Every structure is written in C-alpha cells, then in structure tokens.
Chain A
Amino acid sequence: MEHVVIIGNGISGVTAARHIRKLSDQKITIISAESKYFFSRTALMYVFMGHMKFEHIQPYEAYFWKKNRLDLVQDFVEKIDVNQKKVYLAGQAPIAYSKLIIATGSKPNKFGWPGQDLDGVQGLYSKQDLELIEENAKNAKTAVLIGGGLIGVELAEMLITRGIKVIFLVRENKFWGGVLPAQEAALIGRHIEKHHVDLRYQEELEEIIGDENGRVKEIRTKKGEIIPCEIVGLTAGVSPNINMVAASDVETARGIMVNEFLETSVPDVYAIGDCAQFHTSINGRKNIEQVWYTGRIMGETVAQTICGNRLAYNPGPWFNSAKFFDIEYQTYGWVFAQLKEGEEEFYWEHEKGEIAMHLVWDKNTHEFKGINSFGIRLRHDLFDKWLNEKASIQTVMSLLKSANFDPEFYKLYEKEIITQFNTVTSFEISLKPRLWWQKLMTS
C-alpha cells in the first residue's frame, strides 16, 4: 500500500494529512519530535498567560487521529535517504515511504551574537520554548527583547503579565518598520508603550554577557549601554528548519526548494509550509511564506497532488492578521511600508489614536490594492472578492459599511472615514447603506 510519511505535525503537515485522508485510503504517518499531538503554535502565548491550558491549544482530541487512521510517531528525524526512500529516526527503526512530505517549519534566527547560547537566552517557537520560558520567568525582573516583529510583541505581552519589566530593542526608528507604514508603526508603538513596554528604537544588540554559572546577567547594546537582565528574548525572525535534508539530494537554499506543485528536486518528496522556498515567486508573493494560513493552503494543495490531482499552489489574495496587546490588526491585499510607484493612499485614524484604516489603490486605474485595518474587523470574503475582481477603490469605499465585521452594537466609523476620504482625495463617494454581505458576494 502507498505510504505517505509526513515530517512535522504543524498546521502544514496536519492539513496535508487530513486532506489526504479525505481523498484517499493511503497509509499516513506523521512524525514530529516536538509533541505527539498537533497544537497551535500561534497560541503558545495564551498558555503562558494563563488564558488556556496546553490541552486547549490542541485542535483535535486524541480519538481524532485513531478514527482517521493517522499514525503518529513522536521522534526526531535525523536524515532521509531518498534513494532507498527511508526516513531515519533518532529513537526507532527507519520508516519507509512511498511519498514524503517535509513540513518541518522554522527555527528562530540567531545571528551569531556573542553569548546567544547562555542560559536565559531564548526564542519563542516551540513547546519546549514555552516550558523554558516558564522556568526563565520564575525569578526574572527584567527581560530584553531583540527584534521588533510579531513574536516579539507576543513575548512582551506574555512577560508583562508576570510583572517582568520588558525592554524592547528595535533596530529601525519605528516599530515593525519593514512591514508597517509609518502611521501604523507609530500607532502600534504608542500602544505598546502604553502597556509599559520600554521601547528603544535604533538600538541593536552587541553582546550578551553571562555570569559565572553561564546565565545571562546583562546585555550590551551597539551604543555601549549595559542593561542588566535575567531574560533575553531573541525574536528577530525565523528561518526554515531543513537540517534533516542536508545530507540528501534534496535541493535547498534558505529553505527546501520547490516548484509551484510543491515538489522538491527529488521525485516523491514534497515540501510545504514554513520550510519551503519557491524557485519563483508566486502571484508576486515572497518566496518563503512563514504564516499559518499559507501553511494550511500548501497542505491542502499538496494533498490534491498526492492523491492524483496534480495541483499548483495558487493562493488567493494575501491576507493576514495579528493582535498587538489590545489592538487587532487585519490586512487584505498589499499595503507596503513604502508606497509603490503609481500607488495612491488614504489613511484615517480615530482621534483616540487606536483605531485606524489605511487603503491603497492604483493612481491611474483606481484599482483597489490593499487595506490595513486596526481595531475594526473586516470581512475576508468581500475583500477577497474585490481583490480578485480588481474592484475599484470607489467600490470598496462606498460599500465599507457592508464590509464591517465588528460585533453587533459596535460604534461604526464609516461615515467619519468617508467624510475625510472625500475631503483629502478628489473622490466623491457616497456611502451605501449596509447590505447583507452574501448578496454582494454573488452580485
């Protein structure tokens, strides 16, 4: 019988497994060293903060795997042999495969900083990191975080709930400046500071200094400042986790190289999720996509291919979301940190400075390009449709009310937004009354 072996039980590997099971009867084995059962990495912070227990972040109960005949192996894959089609494990006999899916995710970046392996220095990626930070937080008073991205904010929020002072070193002069336009970066920066995080812009780590027991005791910044601390959080991004294929014929660069069918350079070996790198960018997206949603899409896509329906990865318009302390963020399409040539933009911010919307469109064709929304939830389906259809900015603006996804009774800001839009741009938009959004979907 065909035997599909999947390395990695993250969202990519598990989605692939679920869909292969839906479509076929092949034997499926999922191998992971981190945990027996799939859990949601994105929710690690909530376990630390006491919102949930670890069992709550496991999306499926134990019976699910049995019922769907998904064999789980908790072990570490040391190497793969693509000629013999075998996977070699640290703790048990090798497993033979007919098809292999590599979904091994990422690992936190370490840029060779002196002292980066001291006790008390850690990233936040795995279940083990969660256990480690529980330990490290026990007697900590101060933590220094390096690198201002999403995981950094999550780590800051986590530590703050334990009464630990957080000093956040950000290389740029604004927060998450590589992704967020200046206005949003400022808004988020303010909000983070409101939560008593000590944000230090244009500061970089020079060295982590340990004590005689090999524990971190302080750090030195590039400017020479010494900051005593008990925890150093390394959150300067992640990179593909590809060690297990290093000695094989599978072609790699930063990640495991794949074509649009998620096939690697070796037949019957596929790579999906954080660890995959596309030869050529797909739909203008990055070659390596390290987000939950894309891992899921790749998992569903590769399942089709494995079950005989060779399908290219063809993600729809880009979307993402996050939460910065209390502010929810959603984005659809592309709003780049720097406005691109030929683009025009509109930014609205509520007077209290915690709700904002940023829209971008093409100057000539008026095609809607993307939206960032802070503190206002928006309907994914509608924006997906508008982006697919290359709808105009006028369409989007006039239907803003229907696109709102906030809970009932929430205060609505569309009028305010449109009034300002009509003032600062040359458009004359009249806001259409709220329509049942599904009617718009089919019209």
Chain B
Amino acid sequence: MKNIKYFGMGVFLLALAIFTSLAFVGNFELTERGMRAQLNEQELTNLEKPLMEEMVGKPYRTSFTFSRDFIAVFNRINEDLKAKEEWDKVMWSPVSGIALKLAQSSANGIVASHKMLFFLLTFGLGILGSLIYIISDLKIKGPPGIKNDGIYHDSATNRGWIGILTAVWLISFYVILYFHPYIIANLISITDPIKGLFIEGEKASKWFLYGLLYTTSMTVMGARMIIKYRHNRYQIVRTITVVLFQIIFAFLLVEILPMFGLPGKDLKSAWPLDYYFLFDWNVQDLMSSGNFGKFVFVWGIVLSIIIVPTMVYFYGKRWYCSWVCGCGGLAETLGDPYRQLSNKKMWTWKLERWMIHAVLVFAVIMTVFTGYHTYNVFVHPEMDSKEILFGISAFDIRSWYGFLIGSIFAGVIGTGFYPILGSRSWCRFGCPLAAYMGIVQRFKSRFRITTNGGQCISCGNCSTYCEQGIDVRAYAQKGQNIVRSSCVGCGVCSAVCPRGVLKLENGPEANRFGNEGPIVLGNNGFELND
C-alpha cells in the first residue's frame, strides 16, 4: 500500500514537472498576420516598423525570451514618445498583457499543436496521481479518526526543505501570474481546449488557467479533506459545500453567463472582498447588461449590507469563510496540511488586529473614492475624472489597493506562503470582509465555541491546529467559551480535541462567553467568594 502511495506521489510530481517545464519549451515566432491581429491601431502605428525589423520571422525558444525582446521594443518606443511629449501616441495598456497575447498567438511548437495532450499530461496526471496518493491513506492511516501523526516530523508540513520548495514554487507562480504572465503562455494555452467547451474557439486567459487550477486543487484536496475527516460530519458537509460553491459560482457560472451575453460575475463574492464592485468599468459592465446586470448590482449591495451581517448574526462568519468563500475554501483544502503553521503568539494577535482593520479602512476609503469617481462618470461625464477629492486620484488609490492588497497580499502572501505562514494568513491579517464580519461576530452574534465544563487537559491540540492562530486552549482551560472575531468556524479545534471539549454552536446571546465558573474549580462553595 505504501508503494501505491509513493507511486501516486511520483505520478503527481511527474505532472508537476511537465507543467513547470512548459514554461521553458516551445517555439515562438511572430508573424505579420499575428501582429496585425493582436495589436490595436495605436500600437500598430507605433510598433509595426520596429517589430517588422527586429522580431517578425525570428524564432524564439521560450515565451520568456520572446516577450523580453518585445517588451524592450515596446518600452523603447514608448520612452521615445514620452520624451517627445507626444502624449496622444503613448501606449498606456500594461505591456505584460500585450506580450502575453503576442506570445500565445506566436506559439507554434509541440505544445501549441498538442494542447489537449499536454492538458492531460499535466492536469490529468496531476489529478490522477494526487487521488492515488490521497486514497491510499484510507488504508495506510488506519480506521477513521484524527491522524496527525508525523506532521511535525515531515519536512513538507514543518517548514522543512520540501515546505520551502513548495512555497518557492507557489510564490513564483503567483508573481509570474500577476506580473509576468507571458512567461507561462504555454501553460495558459493548454487550457484552450477546456475554454473552448464554453465558447468555441475562444482562447483561455491567464485567469482561466488560474480559475481551473484553483478549482481543481480545491476539488482534489477537498477529497483529501473528506477522507481525512471521514468520521466528522461537520467537516464533510462543510467541505462539500465550499467546493460546490467554488465549482458552481466561481468557476462554471463565470464561464457560462457570458455564453448568454451576460456579465461573468462571481455572485457569491461580497464587497469589500470584491473590491472592484464600484469601479467604473464594473458598474458600466453591469449597467449595460440589461436587467440581469442591474440585478447583479443590486444583489451585490444587498449581499454586503444585509445578507452578510444577518447571516453572521445567526451563524457566525463561518457561514461565509468556511462554507462559501473561495479564498477560505482553498485554505481549507489545499491549505489544510499547513494549518498548524499559523503563529499563536500574543504579538501576532496584536499585529493581526492592527493589520486587518487597517485594510478594512483602506478598502472603505478606496471604495468611497472609486464610488465617487464612478458616480461622476455616470452623472458628470465632462468632469476630469483623474483628479478628484482633495487632489487624490481615484485611479491611483485603486491601483495601489489592487496591487498591494488584491495581488500581493491575497495572492502572493496569502497562498504562496501557505507552507511557511500557515493556510489563512490572508483571511487572518488581510481580508477586509473578514474584518467586517469579525466585528459583527465579536459583538452581535449567536455564534460561539462552547467549552465543555472542566474537561480540558490543556493539551494544546486545538490551538496548534487553529489556522487562525487563536489560542483556543487559553479559553478552554479556564472554562470560558471562545468568542473571537477572527474565528472562521472551521471546526478543526473541536475535531482534534481528544477530550471532547469544544463545540461550535449558535444560541441565544445571553451567556455567550461562559465564564470561569465553579465547574472548572469543581468546588461548589467557591461561588460565594465572587
């Protein structure tokens, strides 16, 4: 059985190796036709001549070298134009996106001609290998129950070299995806056949690759989660739900809605996690999509202002963080092997409170600015939209937010650092929606984790496995209930507790906190002294 497990691992690693190596293989040659098809008029006017001279017809071995040359040409021309102050000719679209388009259309090597084959060799083999690896645990790890054996002996889950290597891979992937996507032109294009299932002939974007990878990882690792916690129905129901939300709302609907000419929106994504809700392009997009678009706009407002706090009141923020949200869903599946790495020290709790609320404030300010800007776009189109409110540009503030919070924090740090910082550093330190729901959960909610009288033996399993870094034991050993704004209600503390001390439950707000009562003391006479 062990050998089968290793075999699964081998297959997975092979797939991963192929996937990674796709960035380094192929054949890229810019054709005149391709150039004309991909570049817009302004870009063509500027770039046609130098590209014809320097790039067209020249073969490249990787999309990276191809794009490097293109970017050099692009920047040179642009700098020139800026120097000559020919502002109306200067190209403002991000060059990395143009480079990616060009690289994709210029690919003509083995990958480009066998997309489906490579899709199967990477995604297909990867899924197969992981499933073999995961399912063999059913036998190897013995009867159902908490099997955390060896987690702190394993270099993959204890910040050892495998963990560090995994982090390097993930971080590189995110940096490339966000900022240098042309490097992975091949990786993106192998998902073309899947994209084609939704819209015939349509090419996959980098977000399609990302969405597919994300959804696949969550589904496969969700299966792992279900097997690992097969004795625990809370975990099973929760995992199935969050994976279905990802598949249906974040992936399928986003692809299917555009097939009917509707905007491909993730309907479960609530502001302020969905930080571009009031961006002009988003609102314009929705407003120009008929009744459905208007519905989505109104739904977004109702979701954030009414549904989110109401649900938090009744069930705690877990209803979103652990049952619905994609970021949370990835953390609970792909991130589960790393949950123990979150820091439990008091100083991180202090840092967390500063940080997450600062992000919330940032998100609110950013939204006010962009909202005002969008309002002007609709109502006073003649106004100069760049400079608004106290000389600060809505455009700048929202691009800073997008860069710092949306990309670096949520992506690179939030997921890339799983094997170093644990699975939920974004949810804990950065997510403005989590901050918003946390305030409701802490002060006005029926949710709490009840401590079972005096049964705690201070073993520390709960605190260790809390991905949010909550020192659960500190409360449990005093007989107090756990009411913390950051608790996402994953239920793992309750699952790993060897003495049955913790229960997530919703009930009347009275007596929510429990207290250091006579039961911990076991001494009935003690009540008199308080």
Contact = CB atoms under 8 A, between A and B. Distances in A.
Partners in one complex: yes
Contacts of A300: 520-521, 523, 526
Interface in A336-365: none
A328 B234 CA distance: 17
A43 B463 CA distance: 13
Contact of A381 (B463, B508, B519): B519
A293 B522 contact: yes
B155 to A, nearest CB: 12
A383 B211 CA distance: 50
Given A319-B455, A438-B510, 17 more contacts: A46-B148, A52-B460, A59-B477, A293-B455, A297-B522, A304-B526, A312-B525, A315-B523, A377-B500, A378-B500, A380-B453, A381-B453, A407-B233, A408-B233, A408-B505, A409-B236, A438-B511
B500 A409 contact: no
17 contacts: A11-B458, A42-B459, A43-B460, A56-B463, A59-B458, A161-B150, A296-B454, A297-B522, A315-B522, A315-B523, A316-B522, A316-B523, A380-B455, A405-B450, A407-B233, A407-B234, A408-B504
A46 B495 CA distance: 15
Interface string A387-414: 0100000000000000001111111000
A378 to B, nearest CB: 8
Interface in B183-237: 231-234, 236-237
A96 interface: no
Nearest to A311: B525
B148 A50 contact: yes
Interface string B485-500: 0000001001110111
A314 interface: yes
A290 B495 CA distance: 27
Interface in A405-425: 405-411
Contact of B453 (A319, A322, A410): A319
A138 interface: no
A312 B528 CA distance: 13
Nearest to B340: A52
A279 interface: no
Given A51-B461, A316-B522, A380-B454, A409 B233 contact: yes
A53 B452 contact: no
B145 A326 contact: yes
B460 A40 contact: yes
Contact of A384 (B153, B507, B519): B519
B391 interface: no
Given A52-B464, A326-B143, A405 B503 contact: yes
A57 B459 contact: yes
Given A57-B459, A408-B234, A314 B152 contact: no
Interface residues of B, number: 59
A300 B148 CA distance: 34
A66 interface: no
Contact of A323 (B231, B474, B499, B524): B499
A113 interface: no
Contact of A51 (B151, B455, B525): B151
Contact of B519 (A43, A316, A328): A316
Contact of B459 (A43, A314, A378, A411): A43
Interface in A95-149: none
B346 interface: yes
A118 to B, nearest CB: 28
A330 B499 CA distance: 8
Contacts of A29: none
A53 B149 CA distance: 12
Contacts of B494: 407
A21 interface: no
B154 interface: yes
A325 interface: yes
Contacts of B511: 438
Nearest to B521: A300
B453 A379 contact: yes
A194 B152 CA distance: 26
A388 B522 CA distance: 11
B361 interface: no
B142 interface: yes
B144 interface: yes
B457 interface: yes
Given A63-B346, A315-B522, A319-B453, A411 B233 contact: yes
Interface string A4-35: 00000001000000000000000000000000
B93 interface: no
Interface string A423-443: 000000000000010100000
A43 B461 contact: yes
Nearest to A294: B522
B258 interface: no
Nearest to A404: B503
B529 interface: yes
B499 A321 contact: yes
A405 B452 contact: yes
A292 B477 CA distance: 11
A296 B457 CA distance: 10
A49 interface: yes
Contact of B523 (A314, A381, A407): A314
A301 interface: yes
A298 B397 CA distance: 60
A319 B499 CA distance: 12
A162 B369 CA distance: 59
B460 A328 contact: no
Rank and list the top 10 A-B pairs by shortest CB-CB distance, nearest first: A380-B453, A326-B145, A377-B500, A43-B459, A409-B233, A50-B150, A50-B153, A51-B148, A297-B522, A42-B457
A304 B518 CA distance: 13
